[in-house]
Amino acid sequence: MEMPTPCNNCGEIFELHDGRRSPRGKAIMICEACADEEQEEIDREEEIQELKDQISDAEYTLKAAKERLADFL
């Protein structure tokens, strides 16, 4: 190996140019497997947040529609 580098996450030694920058911290070099895993975690967290936002938007819409409807009844 020319530049053996320990993964900041799992400790695995990898060749520096085969490593990746951590999606969570660009200055941190981690191995490819950890980078993939981190990216999947980030995608999952983003989807969870998106779903929560959609639900709270929908709840607000329902509440506002019910209040408006009540004005007519």
| Binding residues for Zn ion (CB under 5 A) | 7, 9-10, 12, 31, 34
Is residue 14 within 8 Å of residue 33, measured between CB atoms?
Answer: no
What's the closest the beta carbon of residue 9 comes to Zn ion, in angstroms?
4
12/39 with CB nearer Zn ion: 12
What's the closest the beta carbon of residue 31 comes to Zn ion, in angstroms?
3
23/34 with CB nearer Zn ion: 34
What's the closest the beta carbon of residue 32 comes to Zn ion, in angstroms?
8
- How far, in Å, are 5, 20, 52, 71 from residue 1 at the CA level? 9, 16, 46, 74
Using only the alpha carbons of the chain, give its radius of gyration.
23
